[in-house]
Structure 1
Amino acid sequence: MIRSEGTGARQLVSQKLSTEFLIVGGGLSGVCTAITAARKGLKVILVQDRPVLGGNSSSEVRLWILGATSHMGNNNRWGREGGVVDEILVENTYRNKEGNPLVFDTILLDKVVSEPGITLLLNTAVYQVLKSSPDTISGVKAFCSQNSTEYLISAPLFCDASGDGIVGFLAGAAFRMGAESKEEFGEKFAPTAEYGELLGHSLYFYSKDTGKPVQFIPPDFALKDIATEIPRFRSFNAKEYGCKLWWLEYGGRLDTVHDTEKIKWELWKVVYGAWNYIKNSGRFPEAETMTLEWVGSIPGKRESRRFEGDYILRQQDIVEQKTHTDAVAYGGWSIDLHPADGVFSEKPGCNQWHSKGVYQIPYRCLYSKNIKNLFLAGRIISASHVAFASTRVMATAAHVGQAVGMAAYVATVHKLYPAGLLEQKLMTALQRELLKSGQHIPGFVLEDDLDLVALASVSASSEYVLEELSSDLLKPLEVSMGQMLPLNKGRVPALAFHVVGEVYTELEIELQVCSRTGSYTPDLLLEKQVLQVQPGKNCLQLAFAAEMEHAAYAFVLLRKNPKVKIYCSQQRVTGVLSVFNLVNKAVSNYGRQTSPEDIGVDEFEFWCPQRRPEGHNLAFRLDSGLHQFGAEQVKSGVYRPTTGPNAWVAALGDKYPQLKLEWEQEQKIAHIDLFFDTDYDHPMESVLMGHPEQVMPFCVRNYKILDDQGRVVFAKTENHQSRNSIRLEKAIRTKKLTLILEQPSANVPAALFSVRCYS
């Protein structure tokens, strides 16, 4: 029993904690920052003011995670972010392909609590920042509402991943809030008054069909005249729910920090009013048996403060895909601005403009320019309002967080503040560590002096040669189709394929490439042909006079013709892909991007894959095979297709292909890294949409590794992850390693992007 006589005042229970790296904000960015730093050996404290991790991706908000892949609606091929966020998305697809947000919560919690270097404080809000000097943070004070405990946490390095930037704000870090003028950065898409200063908040709801009539009596505060108040409601249907209703947005003309509760109430009025209209207006008879299953209790925030670093990312960086020597991450979501009045606006819910490919994010955007030990992660990084419209999405924010976590490690080793890593040798070291962890940085290749594979001779039991893809399916050419081929410099091989014509007609063929190296927007026409199609089956021959100026993907484009059916293949191969001139209204893709005015964006066609089980390759035969899949590709230092496949791919008939690494001298090996193909083109939305497979069809599930005596030193079954980082229980000494892979399926050859070995 506890009994206390009344006193004048009492003090909270207080705990003093110290750590090497303090991260405030447990959204996806903060989670990836923490995991990255902890895996490099740093002691990390992660402070989160909510009961679960994930921020906007958590079950409290339920927004799907997206980034450069953009629902497969843009031209960013193989664009899914690598590293820890890729690991999380792949794991979620494996455990939770249906997209249950509660299951996703557990995956994030699992990932964080499994790292011994992370101390996690949930339900804990920072309310004060302590400083040892005007430009240096020494600690923070935070309060946990659940255990009524105050924490005083000290650290040499801090990361603000809190969304609203609570640490940066209290510390006096320079920030911006609202939109810049066109003149400040020369951004032609700087918004006019109708798009206002800020992006608003959204609140989602879930419905469920119970199979029997359900009544709904709305709360008194519900918005009454939905059809008049919400112009876009007329496009609503009773079957959509969750973040498919992202356009239930409000707050763009308010203070999105201090007016959040006011915004939330307005969104509650909208949600309950909308559901009342669905249930009781008589216009949605299909809703008779539906019930309101869940409504968000906190809104998902898009924009508030943006903090200033040593560089402010701007529109031109995104559209022109500018390069930076200190690039550590990348983005690829569209420049996506919303009308200031949100759901009450007559205008479309978003205004998305895509670039021709992904763009680099420089390190100088990831720390405060005037608080010397403060990193920035998530949506608060140093960017203009227009650039922020792209960088704000969660997969991009998580990718940035990984860069910050690794930077904290490098800074700790060298006893430096964030800006100190701009020195070229240290920046190279940071980029190398990121690439080793699986983080893709466009235009960068891993060069690692410690990797023993660089010294080894590499051979394989077989190597895939792209000569033909089998003819398995006959499909109408109702949408223009493109076959992407990885070509070397020089001659373009001749190609033969089969079609069936309903009547005599003509088929237009184009050979195009991208004008920007490493991007996948076909915008440079090399050659155009018109082939005659007779009624019945035709074998069409394409012989090109054009030549490739350098190694790159070329697009053989077949313009749509409903009178023609084409033969397609069930075979799928790493680095070989078909694309289609699709429309995807969810990301403002209408087949071609054309701006009605000069707003500083490019005009081009969209060529996007189809989601499986569709998206079959063209069935074809080449007059000379493409030898792009050799064993030496495992040394390329790139773990996804870029200008080529960058993968060793075994022959299709090799069910148990072997890759051999041999050294002249005996090597001590304690650590092996393998990188498999989990299809970086698949967007892996975390909730709601669902996915056709648990495991990507290209991924090698089973493999084993043998030493020079034929002993199995490691074996894996049921693999589904991109990166397999193997720490041997005891280091081995050997002159040879043999990797024996199992082919994923009869139609997909085994593939491996990389193998690295360390002593």
Structure 2
Amino acid sequence: MKIYPQNDARAFPVSRLEADLVVAGAGLAGLCAALAAARDGLKVVLIQDRPVPGGNASSEVRLWANGATSHMGNNNRWAREGGIMGEILEENLWRNKEGNPVMFDLVLLDLARSQPGLTLLLNTAVYDVEKTASRITAVSAFNAINETFYHVQATQFCDATGDGVLGFLAGAEYREGAEEIDELGEKMAPGDQFGHKLGHSIYFYTKRTAEPVNFVAPSFALDDITEIPRYKRLTSTLNGCDLWWLEWGGRLDTVHQSEEIKWELWKIVWGVWNYIKNSGEFPDAANLTIEWVGAIPGKRESRRFIGDHLLCQQDIIEQRDHYDAVAYGGWSIDLHPADGVYSTHDGCRQFHSKGTYTIPFRSLYSRSLDNLFLTGRLISASHVAFGSARVMCTCGLLGEIVGRAAALCHMQRLSPKTLAQPSQIGALQQQLQVHGCYIPRQWLDNPALNATVSTSSEYVLTSLEPNGEWLALDARMAVLLPVKRGETLPEITFRLRSRKPHRLTISLLGSEKAGNFTPDIQYDECILDVNGEKEYRSTFGWKCDRDQYVFIAFDACDDMEIALTESRLPGMMTVFNRLNERVAKHTRQIVDGDYGVDEFDFWLPRRHPHQVFPALRLDRPLHCYAPDNLLNGRLRPEQQTNAWSPADDDPAPQVIWRWETPQTIHSLTLVQDNDFDNAMETVQMGHHRAVTPHCITRYRLWADDQIIADVEHNHHSVCEHRFASPLCTRAIKLEILDTAGARPAVYALNIR
């Protein structure tokens, strides 16, 4: 028994903490920032105002996280985010391929709680900052659950709150709404009729029951469904989380009027459900009930803070490569009308670039303050550019960038602005790539510390045998193959069949920009007269002027089929000129106005388990997987496969890195193929397999004659091994013992 006498007043306790880095906000951006900084040795406090991490991908909102892969609906091949964001996607696939948002919460909580050096404060909201001149020195926060105030001092701070709470309280420069066309020359800048901000959305889950379920609408539900111009799109079979266009609030203050927006969205959701249940238009809805409705909206846009570079439309569409490029995006520029669900405009206006674009480090810190990093959707970007960079996997990738940048700044006593200088930024770019963070059109210098490399074998492409299955050429199809500078394409033999004579055109296409996978150049074509079933040879009179991927593109022909193979090759794939309704309305990007964007065809792969590859035979071998690829520092298929793969008849594949003199090694990071083209949306959208087929699931690492790692059940593409005591060795050997079912491929062993 505890008895407390009457007092004049009482005060809640204050917990005082000290850290090297405070990260405010534990969405994917903030969590990745905190994990990266802690892994690089910083003492980190991560403050989250909600009961779980994950932000819009958490069980509180339940939106799937996506990024540059764009549901595999654009031309960004092998573009899935790497580093910690990639680790989260792969871990969630392993534990939660069904897409349960509660399990995704668990994945994130487990990562945060198990990370040494990271203190996680949930249900804790920052409400004040302390400053000395242009530096933040401390934050104050309050947890209403445990009735505790927190005072946290640090030398560096990261704002990942989405709304920019730290930056706002500290007085940093920011913007809301859209820039005028004249300011930045952005032709996608919206006018007043379309509106200048994106709104919020609330999602819901439905469940089918054994018996009819009655529904009585609340008093605040929307009465007249025709107030929603797109109401005829509503069906009883839609997943409530597919209704992202039930959006509202873009005309309001999306921070301070969030509660008003939430109530309007509840009005809309319950009005929609009342229409589905009680209008009589959907008899099959009788046995449906709502299982869950979001209690907080998923917020898209509010404040955007200003760094030393304002990312803009031209950066994205022209795919500008910045000297300080540290990350990339690939989602479309995706702008929504400010009136949301009540707008007569389409729910969104989306335009894609022809490939991934890079994001400069100068957009990831505040130019107003000396020690405030920016990450997530509040980075330094125009409204138009924000429309692409705002998606969660891109935000998570940006989180790791600022976490590792904070560690470098701490160790070298630099400000973010100083780290952004041309003479300094290379250290961050290299550090990121060491940890498996791919940066388009960049590479890691000397990943193996001048080692020589030898392998037990090398896969050489000569033929892929038919498996008895056939694919109808009822849509344009292309095979992506890498060709080296100065080489010609081998003569390729395919097996085709048709019931009557047809003339088939096979085009040789390429991309104007190095590293893109949008075929906007035609190099040559081959015309075949096909009749019956037999092998047909395609020959192209063309010599390659640079390393690149080419498209062997087949015209559509309804009465023709091509023989398929069982083989699946890393860094090669079949794509189709088709439509993905989640991200486009046509098989081609159609530009219906002067928006400053390009028209081009979409060439899309199929999802697992529906990927296919044609049987073929080459008149000379194609050397795509040479051991030297292990030393080129490139972490993805870009212009070439950039990977080593063993021969089919190699019973014990292995790689040995050797040095003439003993090396002192602190860490080894194995980067291998895990099907980087496969989108791994985090929640709701289930996936076929828990591990993608090319993943090396079992391997050993040796230092001279000593085993230093024996790994089973691996499901990650980036596998880091740090040693408490540095190794001294003349050789490192990798033994590949098993995969998830397909051919393994290794990009690098980054040795530090």
Which of 451, 467, 489 aligns to 2:462? It is 467
Cα shift at 1:198: 0.3
The alpha-carbon distance between structure 1 residues 755 and 532, as it changes in their structure 2 partners (threshold 3 A), is same
Partner of 1:161: 160
Cα shift at 1:316: 0.2
Say yes or no: does 1:750 pair with 2:728: no
Q: Name the SS of the counterpart of 2:558 in structure 1.
A: strand
Q: Equivalent residues in 2 for 1:489-528 (5 A)? A: 489=485, 490-528=487-525
Does structure 2 retain, via aligned residues, the 8 Å contact 1:501–1:538? no
Q: Equivalent residues in 2 for 1:28-67 (5 A)? A: 28-67=28-67
The alpha-carbon distance between structure 1 residues 346 and 502, as it changes in their structure 2 partners (threshold 3 A), is farther
Q: Write out per-residue CA displacement over residues 366-389 of structure 1, whole angstroms, 9 at most, x where no aligned residue.
A: 111111111111000000000000
Partner of 1:738: 733
Partner of 2:217: 218
Partner of 1:719: 714
Q: Write out per-residue CA displacement over residues 587-617 of structure 1, whole angstroms, 9 at most, x where no aligned residue.
A: 0251111201111001111001011111211
Q: Name the SS of the counterpart of 2:692 in structure 1.
A: coil
Say yes or no: does 1:180 pair with 2:176: no
Does structure 2 retain, via aligned residues, the 8 Å contact 1:328–1:363? yes
Cα shift at 1:745: 6.2
Paired with 2:697 and 2:584, the residues of 1 have a C-alpha distance of: 37
Say yes or no: does 1:382 pair with 2:380: yes
Q: Equivalent residues in 2 for 1:488-637 (5 A)? A: 488-489=484-485, 490-534=487-531, 536-637=532-633
Whichever residue aligns with residue 213 of structure 1, its letter is: P
Cα shift at 1:731: 4.8
Does structure 2 retain, via aligned residues, the 8 Å contact 1:91–1:721? yes
Cα shift at 1:7: 3.7
Paired with 2:78 and 2:613, the residues of 1 have a C-alpha distance of: 16
Whichever residue aligns with residue 526 of structure 1, its letter is: Y
Which of 659, 662, 682 aligns to 1:686? It is 682
Q: Write out per-residue CA displacement over residues 616-636 of structure 1, whole angstroms, 9 at most, x where no aligned residue.
A: 112111112111201121112
Q: Equivalent residues in 2 for 1:468-487 (5 A)? A: 468-472=463-467, 473-487=469-483
Q: Write out per-residue CA displacement over residues 307-360 of structure 1, whole angstroms, 9 at most, x where no aligned residue.
A: 011110100000000111111111111000011211112222111000000001
Whichever residue aligns with residue 721 of structure 2, its letter is: I
Provide structure 2 residue ranges, at least 5 long, that are not aligned to the other structure.
none
Does structure 2 retain, via aligned residues, the 8 Å contact 1:513–1:554? yes
Q: Equivalent residues in 2 for 1:52-451 (5 A)? A: 52-133=52-133, 135-226=134-225, 228-448=226-446
Cα shift at 1:481: 0.6
Whichever residue aligns with residue 331 of structure 1, its letter is: G
Q: Name the SS of the counterpart of 1:663 in structure 2.
A: strand
Cα shift at 1:730: 5.5
Partner of 2:449: 454
Paired with 2:407 and 2:725, the residues of 1 have a C-alpha distance of: 26
Does structure 2 retain, via aligned residues, the 8 Å contact 1:66–1:685? yes
Paired with 1:260 and 1:734, the residues of 2 have a C-alpha distance of: 59
Q: Name the SS of the counterpart of 1:183 in structure 2.
A: helix
Q: Name the SS of the counterpart of 1:92 in structure 2.
A: helix
Between the two proteins, the alignment pairs up a number of residues equal to 750
Paired with 1:154 and 1:162, the residues of 2 have a C-alpha distance of: 18
- Is 50-59 or 461-470 further displaced after alignment? 461-470
Does structure 2 retain, via aligned residues, the 8 Å contact 1:432–1:446? yes
Does structure 2 retain, via aligned residues, the 8 Å contact 1:702–1:741? yes
Paired with 1:265 and 1:355, the residues of 2 have a C-alpha distance of: 36
Paired with 1:477 and 1:236, the residues of 2 have a C-alpha distance of: 34
Paired with 2:175 and 2:725, the residues of 1 have a C-alpha distance of: 53
Paired with 1:106 and 1:229, the residues of 2 have a C-alpha distance of: 40
Q: Write out per-residue CA displacement over residues 78-125 of structure 1, whole angstroms, 9 at most, x where no aligned residue.
A: 011110000000000010001000000000011111111111110000
- Provide the alpha-carbon RMSD of the alignment: 1.5
Cα shift at 1:468: 1.9
Paired with 1:540 and 1:633, the residues of 2 have a C-alpha distance of: 32
Paired with 1:256 and 1:347, the residues of 2 have a C-alpha distance of: 20
Does structure 2 retain, via aligned residues, the 8 Å contact 1:454–1:635? no
Does structure 2 retain, via aligned residues, the 8 Å contact 1:73–1:589? no
Q: Name the SS of the counterpart of 1:80 in structure 2.
A: coil
Does structure 1 retain, via aligned residues, the 8 Å contact 2:443–2:635? no
Paired with 1:192 and 1:444, the residues of 2 have a C-alpha distance of: 37
The TM-score, its normalising length taken from structure 1, stands at 0.97
Paired with 1:322 and 1:729, the residues of 2 have a C-alpha distance of: 41
Cα shift at 1:497: 0.2
Paired with 1:269 and 1:347, the residues of 2 have a C-alpha distance of: 21
Does structure 1 retain, via aligned residues, the 8 Å contact 2:673–2:744? no
Cα shift at 1:669: 4.0
Cα shift at 1:196: 0.3
Whichever residue aligns with residue 722 of structure 2, its letter is: R
Paired with 1:596 and 1:2, the residues of 2 have a C-alpha distance of: 73
Paired with 1:193 and 1:413, the residues of 2 have a C-alpha distance of: 48
Paired with 2:648 and 2:478, the residues of 1 have a C-alpha distance of: 23
The alpha-carbon distance between structure 1 residues 655 and 290, as it changes in their structure 2 partners (threshold 3 A), is farther
Whichever residue aligns with residue 326 of structure 1, its letter is: D
Paired with 1:656 and 1:286, the residues of 2 have a C-alpha distance of: 57
Q: Name the SS of the counterpart of 2:709 in structure 1.
A: strand
Q: Name the SS of the counterpart of 1:435 in structure 2.
A: helix
Q: Name the SS of the counterpart of 1:410 in structure 2.
A: helix
Provide structure 1 residue ranges, at least 5 long, that are not aligned to the other structure.
none
Q: Name the SS of the counterpart of 2:236 in structure 1.
A: coil
Whichever residue aligns with residue 639 of structure 1, its letter is: L
Cα shift at 1:755: 1.2
Paired with 1:27 and 1:720, the residues of 2 have a C-alpha distance of: 23
Paired with 1:424 and 1:541, the residues of 2 have a C-alpha distance of: 51
Does structure 2 retain, via aligned residues, the 8 Å contact 1:195–1:337? no
Paired with 1:563 and 1:742, the residues of 2 have a C-alpha distance of: 44
Paired with 1:469 and 1:445, the residues of 2 have a C-alpha distance of: 31
Q: Name the SS of the counterpart of 2:540 in structure 1.
A: coil
Paired with 1:309 and 1:194, the residues of 2 have a C-alpha distance of: 29
Paired with 1:660 and 1:323, the residues of 2 have a C-alpha distance of: 35
